[in-house]
Amino acid sequence: MSDPKPSAIAELVLEVRKTREYSRLTDAIPYTRFMGIGVENLAGEMMCRMRYQPMLIGNSFLPALHGGTLGALLESASIFELLLKTETPRVPKVISLTVDFLRSGKPQDTFARAIITRQGRRVANVRVDAWQDDRTRPIASAHALFLLAEP
């Protein structure tokens, strides 16, 4: 599959907003395919899952997931939340992303759920948590600020 053009992504986002076939969107983005990040509807909520792969390990002695992979999941979950829950016509641009690493990530699937805490015409604030076994015990959380394209 070739890399989609920006206008193709915008058209795909509009289709996925209607159909909720989230895998069509994540499969069209090379980075999310490579990282094993997908968007799923779990228990009536849209959330991201990063499927475990050995390449995601950063500390092989523990073993623990690399912090960069957790940051990628948190950022991706934030972007997908904005793309699918707002009317932004283009992929939002990160202004800032602050990640709090709370505990080691085990070698297993990791989930993330983003919530838009504030949205203006041009800027949106997003909070996102990542967890593995227990949603009440996040392994990482982030606060992100994004620049939105005006509709």
Domains and CATH numbers, the chain: 8-147 (3.10.129.10)
- Tell me, what's the pLDDT at 9? 80
What are the backbone dihedrals phi and psi of residue 88, each rounded to the nearest 5 degrees, phi first? -60, 130
pLDDT of residue 143 exceeding 60, the answer is yes
Distance of alpha carbon 37 from alpha carbon 76, whole angstroms: 8
Count Cβ neighbours within 10 Å for each residue of 99-118 and write b for 16 or more, e otherwise. Answer: beeeeebebeebbbbbeeee
| One-character DSSP codes across 88-112 | -SSPPEEEEEEEEE-SPPPSS-EEE
Q: Cβ(25)–Cβ(80) under 8 Å?
A: yes
Span 100-117, pLDDT tens digits: 999 999 999 999 999 999
Q: What is the pTM of this model?
A: 0.91
pLDDT of residue 3 exceeding 70, the answer is no
